């Protein structure tokens, strides 16, 4: 198990300042201040409701007060690897909905793409401005050793969590200004500006003046609503709901106190299915009737484009390294986790025989649901899961159980090592950019490898140090 | 600014103001409850509070049996009553949450904390002796909320919708407070203008936080015509109709210049303010205070609807009107509205009004 702070009993240099600070301040004080941090989070209203669990709609994601640190050279690799990944995924999406060269070349099979539920026939033949489909892509990374990083999965639909990145930093710098006084920690607050710039860069052909931006939310009952409103606020754009928008004359409009005003670029935080009742789910109350027609004819740019989910499906994931080679002519800077596809007979046999050592996931699943972690399962659980795999092999993939790196985390009994992952957010406009930081999620239960917030994971401030 | 956001801000503000005004009404009731009177008159006092709060429809018991406990329960805690203090804080917070990005952290804090603290209050402790404290606490929430608005919000249209909402609600509340006197009985051996009558008027002044101010302004004992003058016509009083109407006019005028459009609501507020400037207390008493107030309450209600319609957050959702030239200012756009109950925004008002 790789601890990011300690190596052979010694503290790694990038954690020096932090270790000294923890020593000085003491665990009791840290525990007291954690309560203070929680009160701050509740005050700003940064809460997270978990779908289907009921309970308190104002639940907080637990915040761990001990930051996670990356050195400049570690970050350099993460940055280059994430940008490379986002560029390849966007090239792939343009190819899927365009010429299909990668299929013609036999480098990626057609079937898992075009039979995928996330594939949108309505997008076929559409080239969005600057050729960008996934303007915001979250790349989930895990670490297993000093130089051993893997991409665990891609998030090309509407990846969430950026508000935590910014708010975690805000709370940390407010509570512990001395930690930042040396100027070693690179700031993350450029994100809203970076996103606004990228959105302006992809304004549609019909936009003649300064592009007008907006964020579309399903409404304040959505679990990520805080993030939607936080971003709208930080970017200084309207936060709209479906009922605020309508289409007319081939353009998208919002209802304002002055009458109708244009929307040129819409960052929509609702799923494809709900976007346009005329094009997709007719019963959707959240979307905007006719918006797909406007989009198709260049009247508005949708961020992200519909149909991007086809690139982050777990059955497509295994092909991303090949996409990087095919479109960019490069080798992956950060590799995939070795993955077995149960759709392949040999892989499936291997998976069924080694279930106790593997992590098996549903191809279309997300949020840490419907998976089994072999080493932590009982024989009965494995048997039941094996039956599910046999019934529908192509619905599952398997990966070795990775020993995720750990980061010191505050518990009632002092600092303990807990497993972490990292989600950097890659922004693509005419350029591809990244803020120095990302969302670190931490599995708060001892030994747990599941970091998803919907499964009781917490978050940490993530530091990238100056060179 | 989005019409929906304008609506949420307008209602957020109204609900905070309403919570405070319900507390003032209850305070009037609490004070009258300390005066000597008959049992029959006592019940009438409490029922008058329910009527003045506009809650006679939702009150769960026969109105003539209303007492301190049942009225406080209904007006403070009852979740079924959209105007209970609890419901008001809840709805204010929900409206604030829906437009979180249109308000500052300080304003959000005020709305959010009021609701979280309200949730910790129980009717057992409040009715068991902390009644006056709760009413004071409620008023303090209003002060904090308005202070945060005054000190931190941009003076953009959103600010003016908040102010318009506040004063539309206050206009309504002051009229209802004055109308309490109409519903309160005098003991059989008392007469109009007598000691108890005068004390009842004093309690109304006190509930409007105005008894000291009244003495400063008139240097006279409490007299019905002066109380009415103070709470209706005197622009010096921050709770008078004249002041509230003046503030509505000021903020609607600013909205007019910011949006470049004049609407039906503008002519309505000019008419209302004109009446308050021209009429005298004698005119009002000649008309009958209760009748006069009832007419103004309805007039104010129509004004509120006209404001909502003008800015696109009313029951009657305006048809979308697209400017001929993109970017050009749309004048009178919302005025051209046709009734369309099926428009997507139509359900919003219903939600807000609970």
| Best mean pLDDT range from A2-6, B196-200, B342-346 | A2-6
- Beta-carbon contacts of residue B148 (< 8 Å; ≥ 6 apart): B104, B106, B107, B109, B110
Please report the pLDDT score of residue B187 as a whole number.
65
Q: Do B333 and A259 touch (CB under 8 A)?
A: yes
| Best mean pLDDT range from A183-187, A301-305, A370-374, B96-100 | A301-305
Alpha carbon distances (Å) from B272 to B168, B169, B243, B268, B284: 12, 15, 12, 6, 14
Question: Could you tell me if A213 and A267 are in contact, meaning their C-beta atoms sit under 8 angstroms apart?
Answer: yes
Q: Do A256 and B101 touch (CB under 8 A)?
A: no
Q: Do A242 and B344 touch (CB under 8 A)?
A: yes
Is the confidence at residue A40, as pLDDT, over 90? no
Which helix (H) or strand (E) is B39 found in, with range?
helix B39-52
Nearest beta carbon to residue A244 from set B4, B94, B105: B4
Nearest beta carbon to residue B320 from set A208, A253, A262: A253
DSSP state of A310: G
Nearest beta carbon to residue B157 from set A45, A246, A257: A257
Among A58, A212, A258, the residue to mutate for chain B (most B Cβ within 10 A): A258
Interval B281-288 mean pLDDT = 94
Vertex B50 angle, CA B48 and B55, to 5°:
140
Please report the pLDDT score of residue A8 as a whole number.
82
Nearest alpha carbon to residue A444 among A415, A413, A414, A409:
A409
Beta strand A238-240 with A213-216 is parallel
Question: Shortest Cα distance from B123 to chain A (angstroms)?
Answer: 22
Nearest alpha carbon to residue A157 among A303, A370, A292, A320:
A303
Give strand pairing partners of A400: A358
Q: Do A258 and B4 touch (CB under 8 A)?
A: no
Among A166, A259, A274, A277, the residue to mutate for chain B (most B Cβ within 10 A): A259
Contacts of B157 in chain A (CB under 8 A): 257
Determine the Cα–Cα distance for residues A239 and B47; give it in Å rounded to an integer: 44
Nearest alpha carbon to residue B314 among B344, B282, B348, B286:
B348
Nearest beta carbon to residue A220 from set B6, B97, B259: B97
Question: Shortest Cα distance from A60 to chain B (angstroms)?
Answer: 15
Nearest beta carbon to residue B326 from set A246, A257, A262: A262
Contacts of B144 in chain A (CB under 8 A): none
Please report the pLDDT score of residue B287 as a whole number.
94
Mean pLDDT is lowest, of A319-333, A363-377, A405-419, for A363-377
Contacts of A204 in chain B (CB under 8 A): none
Which helix (H) or strand (E) is A301 found in, with range?
strand A301-303
Contacts of A209 in chain B (CB under 8 A): 326-327
Sole residue written with tokens 């060269």: A101
Please report the pLDDT score of residue A5 as a whole number.
92
Nearest beta carbon to residue B2 from set A43, A244, A248: A244
Determine the Cα–Cα distance for residues B72 and B78; give it in Å rounded to an integer: 9
Determine the Cα–Cα distance for residues B48 and B43; give it in Å rounded to an integer: 8
Q: How many residues does the structure list for chain B?
A: 354
Is the confidence at residue A374, as pLDDT, over 70? yes
> What is the token pair recorded at A363?
């191809």
Nearest alpha carbon to residue A251 among A286, A301, A214:
A301
Q: What is the pLDDT of residues A417-441, one digit of tens each?
A: 999 999 999 999 999 999 999 999 9
List of domains in chain A: 6-204+300-332+403-464 (no CATH), 340-400 (3.30.1490.270)
Determine the Cα–Cα distance for residues A301 and A311; give it in Å rounded to an integer: 19
Q: What is the pLDDT of residues B144-201, one digit of tens each?
A: 999 999 999 999 999 999 999 999 999 999 999 898 888 776 666 677 777 778 888 8
Q: Do B312 and A232 touch (CB under 8 A)?
A: no
Question: Shortest Cα distance from B151 to chain A (angstroms)?
Answer: 18
- pLDDT-derived band at A58 (thresholds 50, 70, 90) equals low
Q: Which residue of A has its CA nearest to B111?
A: A43
Q: Residue B278's Cα: distance from chain center in Å?
A: 23
Determine the Cα–Cα distance for residues A452 and A442; give it in Å rounded to an integer: 8
Which helix (H) or strand (E) is B243 found in, with range?
helix B241-259
Nearest beta carbon to residue B330 from set A45, A239, A260: A260
Contacts of B318 in chain A (CB under 8 A): 255
CB pairs under 8 A between A and B: 94
- Beta-carbon contacts of residue B321 (< 8 Å; ≥ 6 apart): A259, A260, B330, B333, B334, B336
Query: Can you say whether residue B30 is alpha, beta or left, with left for phi > 0 and alpha for psi between -120 and 50 degrees?
Result: alpha
> What is the token pair recorded at A283?
């019963």
Which helix (H) or strand (E) is A19 found in, with range?
helix A16-25
Please report the pLDDT score of residue A52 as a whole number.
37
Interval B101-114 mean pLDDT = 90
The helix/strand/coil state of B333 is coil
Mean pLDDT is lowest, of A78-92, A351-365, B231-245, B329-343, for B329-343
Please report the pLDDT score of residue A55 as a whole number.
44
Which residues of B sit within 8 Å Cβ distance of A?
1-6, 94, 97-101, 105, 108-109, 112-113, 157, 255, 259-261, 311-312, 318, 320-323, 326-327, 329-330, 333-334, 344-345, 348
Nearest beta carbon to residue A220 from set B98, B113, B329: B98
Give the alpha-carbon dihedral of B56, B61, B65, B66, to 10 degrees: -50
Please report the pLDDT score of residue A355 as a whole number.
94
Is the confidence at residue A309, as pLDDT, over 60? yes
Interval A307-331 mean pLDDT = 95
Sequence spans of domains, chain B: 3-353
Is the confidence at residue A315, as pLDDT, over 70? yes
Which residues of A sit within 8 Å Cβ distance of B?
43-45, 208-209, 219-220, 225-226, 229-230, 232-233, 238-244, 246, 248-249, 251, 253-260, 262, 285
Nearest beta carbon to residue A238 from set B2, B98, B109: B2
- pLDDT-derived band at A185 (thresholds 50, 70, 90) equals very high
Interval A190-195 mean pLDDT = 97
Question: Shortest Cα distance from A220 to chain B (angstroms)?
Answer: 6
Q: Which residue of B has its CA nearest to A287?
A: B344
Question: Shortest Cα distance from B104 to chain A (angstroms)?
Answer: 10
Is the confidence at residue A241, as pLDDT, over 80? yes
Interval A62-81 mean pLDDT = 95
Q: Do B2 and A246 touch (CB under 8 A)?
A: no
Mean pLDDT is lowest, of A151-165, A415-429, B268-282, B333-347, for B333-347
Nearest beta carbon to residue B259 from set A230, A232, A258: A258
Q: Where are the beta strands (DSSP E) in A71-218?
A: 136-145, 148-155, 213-216
Contacts of A163 in chain B (CB under 8 A): none
Give strand pairing partners of A137: A426
Cis ω on the peptide bond leading into residue A304 (within 30° of 0)? yes
Q: Do A229 and B108 touch (CB under 8 A)?
A: no
Contacts of B108 in chain A (CB under 8 A): 44-45
The helix/strand/coil state of B217 is helix
> What is the token pair recorded at A344?
């392949």
Q: Do B323 and A246 touch (CB under 8 A)?
A: no
Interval A247-274 mean pLDDT = 95
Q: Do A255 and B322 touch (CB under 8 A)?
A: no
Question: Shortest Cα distance from A236 to chain B (angstroms)?
Answer: 9
- pLDDT-derived band at B318 (thresholds 50, 70, 90) equals very low
């Amino acid at each position: 198990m790789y601890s990011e702070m300690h190596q052979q009993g010694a503290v790694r240099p990038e954690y020096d300042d932090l270790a000294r600070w923890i020593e000085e301040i003491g665990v009791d004080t840290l525990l007291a201040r954690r309560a203070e941090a929680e009160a701050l989070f509740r005050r700003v209203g940064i809460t997270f409701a978990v779908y289907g669990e009921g309970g308190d709609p104002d639940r907080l994601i637990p915040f761990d007060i001990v930051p996670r640190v990356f050195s400049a050279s570690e970050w350099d690799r993460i940055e280059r690897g994430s940008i490379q990944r986002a560029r390849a995924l966007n090239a792939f999406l343009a190819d899927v909905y365009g010429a299909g060269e990668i299929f013609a070349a036999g480098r990626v099979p057609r079937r898992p793409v075009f039979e995928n539920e996330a594939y949108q026939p309505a997008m076929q033949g559409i080239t969005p401005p600057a050729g960008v489909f996934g303007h915001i892509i979250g790349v989930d990374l895990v670490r297993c050793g000093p130089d051993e990083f893997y991409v665990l999965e891609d998030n090309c639909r509407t990846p969430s969590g950026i508000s935590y990145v910014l708010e975690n930093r805000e709370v940390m710098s407010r509570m512990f200004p001395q930690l930042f006084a040396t100027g070693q920690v690179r700031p993350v607050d450029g994100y809203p500006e970076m996103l606004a710039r990228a959105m302006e860069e992809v304004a549609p052909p019909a936009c003649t003046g300064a592009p007008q931006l907006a964020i579309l939310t399903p409404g304040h009952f959505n679990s990520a609503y805080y993030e939607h409103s936080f971003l709208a606020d930080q970017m200084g754009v309207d936060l709209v709901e479906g009922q605020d928008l309508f289409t007319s004359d081939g353009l998208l409009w919002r209802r304002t106190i002055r009458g109708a005003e244009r929307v040129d670029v819409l960052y929509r935080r609702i799923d494809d299915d709900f976007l346009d009742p005329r094009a997709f789910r007719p019963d959707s109350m959240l979307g905007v009737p006719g918006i797909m027609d406007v989009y198709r004819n260049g009247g508005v740019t949708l961020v992200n484009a519909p149909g991007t989910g086809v690139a982050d499906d777990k059955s497509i994931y295994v092909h991303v390294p090949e996409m990087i080679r095919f479109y960019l002519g490069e080798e992956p800077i950060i590799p995939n986790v070795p993955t077995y596809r149960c759709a392949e007979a040999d892989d499936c046999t291997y998976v069924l025989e080694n279930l106790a050592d593997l992590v098996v996931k549903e191809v279309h699943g997300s949020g840490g649901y419907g998976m089994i972690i072999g080493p932590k399962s009982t024989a009965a659980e494995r048997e039941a899961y094996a039956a599910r795999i046999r019934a529908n092999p192509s619905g599952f993939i398997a990966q070795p159980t990775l020993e995720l790196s750990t980061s010191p985390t505050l518990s009632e009994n002092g600092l303990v090592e807990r497993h972490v992952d990292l989600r950097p957010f890659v922004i693509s406009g005419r350029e591809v950019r990244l803020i120095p930081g990302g969302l670190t999620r931490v599995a708060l239960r001892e030994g747990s490898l599941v970091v998803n917030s919907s499964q009781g994971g917490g978050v940490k401030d993530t530091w990238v140090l100056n060179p | 600014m989005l019409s929906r956001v304008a609506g949420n801000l307008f209602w957020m503000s109204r609900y905070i103001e309403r919570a405070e005004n319900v507390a003032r009404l209850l305070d009037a009731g609490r004070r009258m409850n300390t005066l000597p009177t008959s049992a029959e008159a006592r019940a009438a006092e409490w029922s008058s509070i329910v009527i003045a709060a506009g809650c006679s429809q939702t009150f769960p018991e026969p109105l003539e049996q209303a007492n301190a406990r049942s009225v406080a329960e209904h007006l403070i805690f009852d979740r079924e009553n959209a105007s209970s203090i609890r419901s008001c804080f809840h709805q204010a917070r929900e409206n604030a949450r829906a437009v979180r990005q249109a308000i500052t952290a300080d304003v959000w804090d005020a709305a959010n904390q009021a609701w979280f603290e309200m949730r910790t209050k129980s009717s057992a402790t409040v009715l068991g002796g902390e009644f006056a404290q709760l009413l004071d606490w409620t008023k303090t929430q209003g002060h904090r909320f308005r202070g945060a608005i005054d000190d931190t919000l941009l003076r953009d249209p959103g600010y003016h919708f908040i102010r318009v909402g506040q004063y539309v609600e206050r206009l309504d509340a002051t009229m209802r407070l004055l109308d309490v006197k109409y519903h309160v009985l005098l003991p059989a051996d008392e007469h109009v203008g007598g000691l108890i009558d005068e004390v009842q008027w004093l309690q109304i002044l006190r509930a409007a936080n105005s008894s000291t101010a009244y003495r400063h302004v008139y240097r006279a004992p409490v007299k019905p015509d002066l109380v009415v003058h103070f709470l209706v016509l005197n622009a010096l009083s921050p709770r008078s109709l004249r002041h509230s109407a003046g503030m509505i006019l000021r903020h609607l005028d600013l909205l007019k210049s910011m949006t470049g459009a004049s609407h039906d609501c503008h002519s309505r507020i000019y008419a209302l303010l004109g009446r308050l400037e021209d009429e005298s207390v004698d005119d009002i008493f000649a008309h009958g205070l209760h009748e006069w107030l009832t007419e103004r309450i309805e007039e104010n209600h129509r004004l509120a609807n006209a404001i909502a319609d003008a800015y696109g957050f009313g029951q009657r959702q305006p048809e979308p009107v697209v400017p001929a030239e993109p970017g050009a200012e749309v004048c009178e756009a919302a005025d051209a509205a046709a009734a369309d109950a099926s428009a997507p925004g139509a359900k919003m008002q219903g939600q807000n009004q609970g």
